[in-house]
Amino acid sequence: MENETPNVEEHLQENPLLKFIKSTSWSIPFIALVVLLVVFSLRLINNADIGFHLKGGQWILENFKFPGNDVFTYTVNTHEYIDMQWLYQVLIFSVQSIFGYAGLTILNVLFILTTFYLLYRVMQFREVPLPLIIITLFTILLVVQIRFSYRPELISWIGIMLTLFIMEVYYFTKKKNLYLLPIITLVWVNMHGLFMIGLFMMACYILSIWIKDKKLDLYLLKWFAIAILATLVNPYFIKGATYPFYLLTRLDESNIFAQTIFELKSPIGVGFSNLLFELRIYYWTAALSLAFFLLTYRKRKIHEFIIFVAFFYISYAAVRNVPIFMFYAGFILSLCLKDIFATEFAKKITSKLEVINDALAYSLAIAFILVSARVVTGNYYLGYGSGANFGMGLNEKSFPVGALEHLKKNNLNGRILNDIGYGGWLEWQYPNQVFIDGRLEVIKEDLYKEYLAALNNNKLADLIAKYNPQLVIFNHGVSYSWIPQMRDMPGWKIVYLDDNTAVYGKSDYLGTVSMNYIGEFFEKEGYRIDFNDDDINRILDIEPGFKKSDWFSGFYEEHNQYRELNSFALFCLDINRLKEAEFAYLNILDKSNGKLEPEIIKELYFNLGTIYQRNGDDEKALKCYKIAIKYDPFNSELQKRILDVDVKKTL
């Protein structure tokens, strides 16, 4: 393998951003790419874990100690809680306390920008041409943005990039800045459990240098040993330092968490229909980077191959690790392409393309701006389902905000049984302990299996009998199997319902407390509750679906799919509150002007037709069914209902 020494003075002493901005037309697409990166990063808080992270930071600062056994649940409070994310939790709690939820958005943007800036710097250090850097970073961004959530894994991204940058500089220049490695490790070990990746990368460089120089690098070995010792500087000492080995069990396909938790599943499988575009880029990046790796094997380094294979393995094992692989694979791909373009044959070809250099640069800039526009309008995220939205602060549609306000107003704070997605937020905002949350390392397999049985096998009554809650709260759009179970549960009644949350209470516990007024919820969200027959006929005459022109309008106007309101309508239909369900569906059609995705259209019109048929309005029912069958032509139940209504009309 050939030696390659980048010009370190040029790349480390002069500000690289200023240098290329002054000297090349590619500054325009670069700036557009930075804008796109910021726009992707500005995402409303929607991940379930944010609540227990905030509560963890609050608890540590209020008690001036670290958790030992679990303090947030009543079900597993004898389980050990090794909180290796404590520093991240203290940080985000402090930021939220001072700057609010918008402050957390800004903090997340800074984390993401730092990650990409470090990757840019290491590519520039390895003398990757700017056009290649821009195209590579854009490709990486399209995939890794699926994990732009409010989680401490962003700290691991920064740790990986810092380690990569420091080790690359040392490998080629022997610049003695390795004292930074233990400092990085010290911060990393107290923020996220993937700190072992940094040590693994250091070990790969030690091996690579040993093979290249035919001797051990004692200076590097010394700082590597100090970095290992730095992992012990955490509240749990050896238990904390060895914590990543427990996390490795999640990569085992036989593990119950790996089988059922979305982010722990392999991307090479089923269940990712909403991420097909991103995963195709991941597959192609893996294939192309490996192919180009082999084509340029003489210039590749031992550590590059080992890290590439290891990162691919962890990404193959769990989709949450795909960004880690994409960052490194993109780096390797850019190096390979740089080496290929440096050959005489490639130079002859690329020299003929110089005439379109400016056109290519401006075209990319326009493309980045157009993608940014679709992100801002929210239309880029249409296929992702609920929760992903451009903006700053809290996405209240992702949390039981209204439900908790209603419970507080009525002084309802008894023992609660919740679904796993709401556990973290309830820990943050509810005054008592919760049933379950997303800290899988604390919850363990036994309680999780009980929870799954209630979710998938209609065993919710068993959970209620065992844990004796006074309230049951859940996201009805996610834990929809609990709707009929709670509906048929004797001695329970619904006390709160909105477009994302349902709360049931024991009748003897609720006393005279009544359910929230649905009309108030409608008015708060700007939904109508006063449809007359002319309004209904006008709405039913809307031609649903997207037209070709709607794709262009998606760059400047939002095409809201109202998924949460659709879930609300389904809930109302299931508990036979037909008027509320009808009004919800009519609001969706009216506000969207029918610009809905096919899956939503066929379900909406089928259910709306069901409502009208139950109410004896066969004319409206038939109109809805005929629209639904255009989108679901092989639905035998639809065919039967249309036939029944037609026959009835002839009698």
H or E stretch covering 111: helix 86-125
Minimum mean pLDDT range among 259-273, 293-307, 410-424, 592-606: 259-273
Q: Which residues pair with 471 in a beta bridge?
A: 416, 505
Predicted pLDDT of residue 257: 87
Cβ-contact 478, 419 below 8 angstroms? yes
What is the rounded CA–CA span in Å between residue 501 and residue 340? 55
Provide the 8-state DSSP code for 394.
B
- 592-602: pLDDT as tens digits: 999 999 999 99
Does the structure show a pLDDT above 50 at 386? yes
What is the rounded CA–CA span in Å between residue 306 and residue 206? 12
- 514-541: pLDDT as tens digits: 888 888 889 888 999 889 999 999 999 9
What is the maximal distance between C-alpha atoms in the chain? Answer: 95
Confidence class for position 615, pLDDT limits 50, 70, 90: very high
What is the rounded CA–CA span in Å between residue 258 and residue 577? 38
Q: Which residues pair with 416 in a beta bridge?
A: 471
**Lookup: tokens for 62:** 């209020």
How many Cβ atoms sit within 10 Å of the Cβ of residue 28?
17
Predicted pLDDT of residue 324: 98
What is the rounded CA–CA span in Å between residue 550 and residue 293? 42
Q: What is the DSSP string of 168-223?
A: HHHHHH--S-TTHHHHHHHHHHTT-GGGHHHHHHHHHHHHHHHHHHSS--HHHHHH
Predicted pLDDT of residue 39: 98
What is the rounded CA–CA span in Å between residue 143 and residue 474? 31
Dihedral angle, C-alpha 139, 143, 145, 148, nearest 10 °: -130
Measured N-to-C along each axis, helices 153-173 and 180-189 cross at an angle, to the nearest 10 degrees, of 170
Minimum mean pLDDT range among 311-315, 406-410, 526-530: 526-530
Q: Is 478 exposed, middle or buried (0-12, 13-18, 19+ CB in 10 A)?
A: middle
- 170-207: pLDDT as tens digits: 999 998 899 999 999 999 999 999 999 999 999 999 99
What are the residues whose beta carbons fall under 8 Å from the beta carbon of 339, sequence distance 6 or more? 296, 299
Cβ-contact 198, 185 below 8 angstroms? yes
Minimum mean pLDDT range among 228-232, 426-430, 632-636: 632-636
H or E stretch covering 165: helix 153-173
Does the structure show a pLDDT above 90 at 268? no
The pLDDT mean for the chain works out to 91
Predicted pLDDT of residue 550: 87
Degrees (nearest 5) of the Cα angle 168, 174, 180?
65
Which residue blocks in 541-635 are alpha helix, DSSP H?
Answer: 548-553, 563-574, 578-592, 598-614, 618-631
What is the rounded CA–CA span in Å between residue 584 and residue 362? 45
Degrees (nearest 5) of the Cα angle 23, 27, 28?
135
What is the rounded CA–CA span in Å between residue 57 and residue 50? 11
- 50-108: pLDDT as tens digits: 999 999 999 999 999 999 999 999 999 999 999 999 999 999 999 999 999 999 999 99
What are the residues whose beta carbons fall under 8 Å from the beta carbon of 12, sequence distance 6 or more? 125, 169
Per the listing, tokens 């451009």 go with 390
Degrees (nearest 5) of the Cα angle 171, 173, 176?
85
Q: Which residues pair with 43 in a beta bridge?
A: 390
**Lookup: tokens for 292:** 């180009």
Cβ-contact 306, 350 below 8 angstroms? no
- Is the pLDDT higher at 385 or at 116? 116
- 540-578: pLDDT as tens digits: 999 999 998 888 888 999 999 999 999 999 999 999 999
Mean pLDDT of 148-172: 97
pLDDT above 90: percentage of residues in the chain: 79
Predicted pLDDT of residue 18: 45
Kindly list the domain boundaries of the chain, sorted by start residue. 8-384, 399-516, 528-650
Cβ-contact 390, 54 below 8 angstroms? no
Confidence class for position 17, pLDDT limits 50, 70, 90: very low
Mean pLDDT of 235-259: 84
Predicted pLDDT of residue 270: 64
The closest alpha carbon to 289, from 305, 276, 310, 275, belongs to 305
- 431-470: pLDDT as tens digits: 999 999 999 999 999 999 999 999 999 999 999 999 999 9
Q: Is 226 exposed, middle or buried (0-12, 13-18, 19+ CB in 10 A)?
A: middle
Predicted pLDDT of residue 505: 96
- Is the pLDDT higher at 633 or at 252? 633
What is the rounded CA–CA span in Å between residue 558 and residue 563? 14
Topology classification of domain 528-650 = 1.25.40
**Lookup: tokens for 76:** 């597993």
What are the residues whose beta carbons fall under 8 Å from the beta carbon of 82, sequence distance 6 or more? 236, 239, 240, 243, 441
Predicted pLDDT of residue 261: 87
**Lookup: tokens for 153:** 């894994």
- 490-501: pLDDT as tens digits: 999 999 999 999
Can you say how many angstroms the Cα of residue 202 is from the centroid of all Cα atoms in its chain? 29
C-alpha torsion sign, points 380, 284, 162, 149: positive
Predicted pLDDT of residue 358: 83
